[in-house]
Amino acid sequence: MIVIFVCVLLVQVCGSVPLAGWVQSPGYPFGYDPHATLTWKHCAAPGHTLMLSFFHLDLEDSEQCENDVVKVFAGNVLLTKLCGRMSAQHLLSSVNPLLRSSSGGCLSLSFEADFSNPERHTGFRAFYKEQDVDECWVHEPECSHFCHNYIGGYTCSCKPGYYLSEDQHTCSANCTEELFGEGVLTPVGSPGPYLENSFCTYTLAVQEGQQLVLSFVGEFDVESRDGQCIDTLTIKTDSAVFGPFCGQTAPPKISTGAQRVQIFFHTDQGGTNTGFTLSYRAKPMQCPGNVTANSILAPQRSQYTPGDTVTVQCVTGHSLESTLQQTFESTCQKSGRWSPVRYCEPIDCGPPNFSDLIVLTEEDPVTTYNHNISVKCLSEYYELIGDANFICDASGTWVSEKAQTKPLCLPVCGKNTAFSSGRIFGGRKAQPEELPWHLLIKEPQRGGASLISDQWAVTAAHVVDRYESDTLIFYGGITDGMDRNAVLMESEKIIIHPGFEKRKPEQDHTNYDNDIALVKMSARVSLGPNIRPVCLPNKTNSLPEQTARLSMEGKMGTISGFGGRSETLTKARYLQYGHVIEYSEVPCFPNNLKVTDNMFCAGGKSKEVDSCKGDSGGPLVVPAVGSGSPNTRHQLKGIVSWGPSICGNEHNKGYYTKVENYLDWIMETMQKN
């Protein structure tokens, strides 16, 4: 029966090609003919290797065997190339040991002779045979414990206490166990070395209302190397993980606070370490001295017994789950857990509610309690007034670090990008960016205005008093009145100073006192290098009679406009400007019109520089454009108001509304509207 069983196992081998045989050159041993060839191939059965041994070799000799040659391959790999004469001893010692296939592999041979030989050669003869591979010798590491060889293959087996894994090579320890109550736990293999290649899971449990307390007693020896765990011991509960532990220092006593504990012990394939002894016992369950993070308890103790009730209060800067509530009550349960449990989350101030001109310096910052943000203005044409840094306080409000009011972004006033050095006393054509605050009114009558913020302009009252209820269009950002790229601004409100003389449409003005009006635009102006506001003058404490004489404080100013350049012209295509000084001691224009402290007289030193018809409402700014430095800020000192009918008179100059007399009215009107 045993023989029949073996034949059944070997039927595939016995019934296939021969296990051994000869291969030789054509005509051997009498010699081979010119151009003789031979090809041969043989493959070993699974679990076997094929060996080829040459016993005779007599071929024509040539350099690198380029004439007659026999080649042997293992698969596609050339094992040897032979020619000439070799003794049987030489073949046995240096050639034949190389001619072996892999397990289940193939050997092939090719022979080629050239067209002639100087003498006759007998050829070659070789013997092939299949031999069983001892996989247990060759593949010994593949079996964890024992290897058993048989003809055509091998099998693995394990020591007692282990089982063969699905890969049929690895032996793993079977050490899963559930334990209840109190006792002592040691790994499989104790008191000797614990089992290798194991993944043991021990489940410990006690009755409800109790918790497990773990203590390591005696020697602790879990494999480690260079401070790194090779084998690991890990303890887990539903709410905590202890470990992994290894080395020779026992962990401290562990009060798990849990009714059920899992212990995972994982080992590798080597080592002689002895393991550990773990004592586990039960004690009454207790709840920890913390219900939820970021909170304090009243009464405060380190441990609580089932049935105890506490008041949980969130610490400063935290509230219950994004509400403003700060406290709740919780009771210790038999399971050692608190119920109910609510979470104290950091108070979130959310995105800051500042002006749309203010942006954060950091994208998507953290906005919860005690975190900081910083802000800046939307563009370089605005400047930040107030603190730029804020912190989220406990009430959920962004608070300035310096306890200041909310920040404001106000337009940068009085600056122009184009800057020309020196002073020019004659009128000249303005360059782009040189007078960016100047606005043009084309219809119904030509006039000028000055931009004083990103939504407000100021002009002379007599230019707009007849159109107070109408919508006017203002043109900005241009020096060419025909420029199609002008910034168009539509008025929303026109507010005439209440002290300005009212007149009927067909009447002329008899008094230009309080000749000032404010215009609110329907939308915020998009500021840029070509359009930006002029500064209002600084408020002083001077007496009226002093300010009347010192309105321009001895400075030279600049007037600008699209008005006429001669007696016959009422408008010009290009924006012109010129430099003027104040005349305070002599009459500028002797006539019957009343001159008040709300006006001042100014003009050029030559008759060529003067405001004219069509310039009304335009600005007079100090210091003069082109003087000072690129950082100089220009102030609006006057508004073109009235003067002689003939422009450019050497002795008669124009009158301007004194802007500093109206600062309170300007500020109050802008705030209310």
b vs e for 322-335, b when ≥16 Cβ sit within 10 Å of the residue's Cβ? eeeeeebebebeeb
d(CA 442, CA 459): 14
SS3 550: coil
**433 assigned to a ligand binding site:** no
Half-sphere exposure of 266 (CA within 13 A, CB side): 10
Cα separation, 104 vs 85, whole angstroms: 32
| Measured CA angle at 271 (ends 266, 276), to 5 deg | 55
Residue 266 tokens read as 């994982």
Residues 6+ apart with CB under 8 A from 288: 257, 303, 304
Q: What are the distances in angstroms from CA 115 to CA 63, 68, 163?
A: 16, 9, 67
Query: Is 133 marked as a binding-site residue?
Result: yes
| Catalytic choice (454, 515, 610, 615) | 515
Residues contacting residue 372 through CB under 8 Å, at least 6 positions apart: 365, 389, 390, 391, 392, 401
Among residues 292, 295, 246, 248, the alpha carbon closest in space to that of 268 is found at 246
Among 295, 616, 627, 641, the one annotated catalytic = 616
The yes-or-no answer on residue 509 being catalytic is no
Cα 267 to Cα 162: distance, rounded to the nearest angstrom: 13
Kindly report the number of other CB atoms within 10 A of residue 394's CB atom: 14
Catalytic residue among 42, 48, 438, 462: 462
132 annotated to bind ligand = yes
Whether residue 650 is annotated as binding a ligand: the answer is: no
Task: From 226, 239, 320, 237, select the one nearest 280 (Cα to Cα).
Answer: 237
Q: Is 356 annotated as a binding residue?
A: no
**Distance separating alpha carbons of residues 505 and 115, to the nearest angstrom:** 129
Q: Is 130 known to sit in a ligand binding site?
A: no
- Classify 438 as helix, strand or coil: strand
Give the integer Cα–Cα distance in Å for 173 and 287. Answer: 37
**Residues in Cβ contact with 568 at an 8 Å cutoff, skipping those fewer than 6 apart:** none
**177 known ligand binder:** no
| Residue 1, helix vs strand vs coil | coil
Annotated ligand binding at 629? The verdict is no
What are the DSSP calls for 658-670, one per residue? EGGGGHHHHHHHH
CB-based contacts of 344, cutoff 8 Å, min separation 6: 292, 293, 294, 295, 312, 314, 315, 318, 319, 320
Gap between the Cα atoms of 465 and 507, Å rounded = 12
Pairing of β 20-24 and β 85-86: unpaired
Is 610 in the active site? no
- Closest Cα to residue 580, out of 561, 599, 552? 552
Q: Of 411, 380, 385, which Cα lies nearest the Cα of 400?
A: 385
Annotated binding residue at 95? no
Contact present, 624 and 556 (Cβ < 8 Å): yes
**Residue 268 marked ligand-binding:** yes
| Beta-carbon count within 10 A of 506 CB | 5
Active site (annotated) includes residue 215: no
**Does 150 carry a binding-site annotation?**
yes
Residues taking part in catalysis: 462, 515, 616
Name the binding residues for Ca(2+). 60, 68, 114, 116, 132-133, 135, 149-150, 153, 223, 231, 268
Name the binding residues. 60, 68, 114, 116, 132-133, 135, 149-150, 153, 223, 231, 268
